[in-house]
């Protein structure tokens, strides 16, 4: 039998639904090239992109439960028993399959699930439509809305336009429906009730865990909202949206034990979402202020805090997640080892762009100093070196000018001291802005050397809507397959791609 998969219509990320579905199926071991080849071809993908549901021939029930437990945009799956344009057509088809009802519902608790795509129905209308099939269900009176064993599904498909007519009706057995389903809540915090609180350090975080566990116990709330930005203790100026972060994780096909790298880690939002799937997370950023919480990060005003520490690791501790390893480095001068074999399973990142966050690199800067004759001279100083103590610079200058200092007046000494301080201050200004295109080129360079064969690179790329084709050309790389570039429109003239690329297999060295 065929299976019906339906999606939630997301206003922001609706373009990503097919890419996320394909990636999750491959994550759990399904070969989409054979089963979903027609859907994911270029022309057909644009056709199905606006559909609220699709029919597939993948009959692995456990696979669909795993997919829907992680997916943000896939809502449910049912095994189709009958379909038609009218209720009479559906009932006529079902009357020929009474044996199917007997094998499925006999001596089992069951309930009905109703959903309509493109129209809101009140409770009276829902009840009337479900009662239409009483002739088939009147012999099975063991109905239980809470502790059911079997769930029958009745779905209606309307057009996307307001007041559109009924297009299709589907009836079948629900395989996995996310709504109010305890078994489909992907949440690490639920397992906290089994934790042994023997360690004294754990006792210090009991209040945080109790709050998180309490939030996770409500199945009426979608599981990923427990990690929403407004529920995190530490907030950053440009943290990636929670839903988008999970979509990017799903597209990257990450799973337990994978090594995930974020070269633009910022406030750590993406790595926090990756950690929820029990991955090993590593990141780097050039701006130490974000990592340490200096001035940029701030405490959530709607939460109680035991201390005023604002580093990004507090969010990981709050949700009982593994702390990532993060270093301060410049992506234009990669610190990663390119000599040995690749070691990263996926890169998931959001390069900074726009007015609120710019891309920065370390550069050389011209600094003015004075020679023994009192004339200006230019010193080229490597500005990617951070000086924590000013005494080293002052001592070096004193040694170079030792013979001249003895013959100078006190006024001249004061002038030299001011010059030294100005020079030291300029050394601390170690960053300069460069464009997002260069940042993406550096990202592709790092990914090409570090990602394993068939590993995934997923990132956000800002574009101008009037030159989309030129922007796509920039994403082509000799070492990667461009899997998808799903567009999210931000303004009338700008948007961004959710880009996913797969590392090509390297040729074996002879």
Cβ neighbours around 203 below 10 Å, total: 11
> Which pLDDT tens digit goes with each residue over 402-412?
444 444 445 44
Q: In this prediction, what percent of the chain has a pLDDT beyond 70? A: 72
CATH number for the segment(s) 3-184: 3.30.2130
**C-beta separation of 435 from 466 below 8 A:** no
Strand partners, 77: 5, 176
Model pLDDT, residue 180: 61
The 3-state secondary structure of 241-308 reads CHHHHHHHHHHCCCCCCCEEEECCCCCCHHHHHHHCCCCEEEEEECCHHHHHCCCCCEECCCCCCCCC
User: Taking all residues of the chain, what is their mean pLDDT, rounded to a whole number?
Assistant: 80
User: Would you say the pTM of this structure is higher than 0.75?
Assistant: yes
Three-point CA angle 121, 125, 126, nearest 5°: 80
> Which pLDDT tens digit goes with each residue over 348-386?
999 987 555 555 565 655 554 444 444 444 444 443 333
Cα torsion angle, 445, 447, 450, 452, sign: negative
> Which pLDDT tens digit goes with each residue over 385-397?
333 344 444 444 4
Where b means 16+ CB within 10 Å and e means fewer, 117-136 reads bbeeeeeeeeeebeeebeeb
Say which range, 56-65, 297-306, 450-459, has the weakest mean pLDDT.
297-306
Report the C-alpha gap between 260 and 125 in whole angstroms: 48
> Which pLDDT tens digit goes with each residue over 231-250?
999 888 788 999 999 999 99
Strands 150-158 and 110-117: parallel
The DSSP call for residue 150 is E
Q: What residues contact residue 246 under an 8 Å CB cut-off, 6+ apart?
A: 72, 224, 273
Please classify residue 442 by burial: count the beta carbons closer than 10 Å to its beta carbon, then call 0-12 exposed, 13-18 middle and 19+ buried. buried
The structural domains of the chain, with segments of one domain joined by +, span: 3-184, 228-357+438-481, 364-429
CATH class of the domain at 228-357+438-481: alpha beta
What does each C-alpha distance from 111 to 1, 108, 393 come to in angstroms? 21, 10, 77
Q: Is 118 helix (H, G, I), strand (E, B) or coil?
A: coil
Kindly state the greatest CA–CA separation across the chain: 111
Q: 504 pLDDT exceeds 70?
A: yes
Please classify residue 411 by burial: count the beta carbons closer than 10 Å to its beta carbon, then call 0-12 exposed, 13-18 middle and 19+ buried. exposed
Inter-residue long-range contacts of 199-206, CB under 8 Å, 24+ positions, other chains counted = 205/317, 205/318, 205/320
24 vs 161: which has the higher pLDDT? 24
């Amino acid at each position: 039998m065929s299976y019906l998969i339906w999606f939630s219509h997301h206003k922001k990320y609706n373009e990503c639904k097919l890419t996320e579905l394909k990636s999750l199926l491959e994550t759990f071991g399904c070969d989409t090239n054979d089963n979903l080849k027609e859907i994911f071809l270029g022309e057909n993908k644009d056709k199905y992109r606006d559909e609220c549901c699709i029919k597939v021939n993948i009959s692995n029930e456990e696979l669909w439960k795993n997919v829907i437990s992680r997916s943000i945009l896939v809502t449910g799956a049912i095994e189709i028993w009958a379909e038609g344009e009218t209720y009479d057509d559906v009932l006529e088809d079902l009357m020929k399959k009474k044996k199917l009802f007997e094998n499925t519902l006999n001596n089992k608790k069951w309930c009905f699930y109703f959903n309509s795509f493109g129209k809101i129905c009140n409770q009276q209308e829902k009840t009337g439509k479900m009662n239409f099939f009483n002739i088939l269900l009147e012999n099975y009176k063991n109905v239980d809305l809470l502790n059911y064993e079997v769930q029958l599904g009745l779905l209606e498909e309307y057009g996307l336009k307001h007041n559109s007519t009924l297009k299709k009706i589907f009836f079948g057995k629900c395989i996995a429906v996310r709504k109010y389903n305890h078994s489909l809540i992907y949440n690490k915090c639920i397992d906290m009730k089994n934790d042994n609180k023997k360690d004294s350090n754990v006792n210090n975080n009991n209040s945080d865990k109790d709050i998180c566990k309490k939030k996770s116990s409500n199945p009426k709330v979608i599981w990923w909202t427990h990690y929403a930005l407004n529920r995190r203790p530490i907030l950053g100026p440009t943290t990636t949206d929670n839903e988008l972060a999970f979509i990017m994780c799903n597209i990257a096909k990450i799973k337990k034990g994978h090594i995930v790298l974020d070269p633009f880690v910022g406030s750590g939002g993406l790595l926090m979402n990756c950690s929820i799937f029990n991955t090993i997370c590593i990141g780097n950023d050039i701006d130490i202020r974000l990592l340490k919480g200096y001035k940029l990060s701030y405490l959530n005003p709607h939460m109680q805090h035991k201390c005023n520490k604002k580093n990004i690791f507090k969010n990981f501790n709050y949700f009982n997640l593994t702390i990532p390893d993060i270093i301060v480095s410049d992506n234009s001068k990669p610190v990663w080892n390119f000599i040995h074999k690749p070691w990263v399973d996926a890169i998931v990142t959001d390069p900074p762009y726009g007015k609120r966050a710019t891309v920065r690199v370390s550069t050389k800067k011209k600094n003015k100093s004075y020679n023994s004759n009192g004339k200006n001279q230019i010193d080229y100083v490597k500005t990617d070196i951070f000086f924590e103590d000013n005494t080293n610079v002052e001592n070096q200058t004193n040694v170079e000018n030792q013979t001249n200092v003895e013959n100078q007046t006190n006024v001249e000494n004061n002038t030299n001291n001011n010059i030294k301080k100005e020079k030291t201050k300029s050394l601390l200004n170690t960053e300069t802005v460069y464009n997002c295109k260069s940042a993406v080129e550096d990202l592709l360079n790092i990914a090409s050397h570090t990602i394993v064969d068939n590993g995934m690179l997923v990132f956000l790329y800002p574009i101008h809507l009037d030159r989309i084709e030129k922007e796509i050309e920039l994403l082509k790389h000799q070492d990667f397959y461009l899997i998808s570039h799903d567009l999210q429109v931000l303004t009338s003239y700008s948007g961004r791609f959710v880009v996913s690329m797969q590392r090509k297999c390297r040729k074996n060295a002879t």
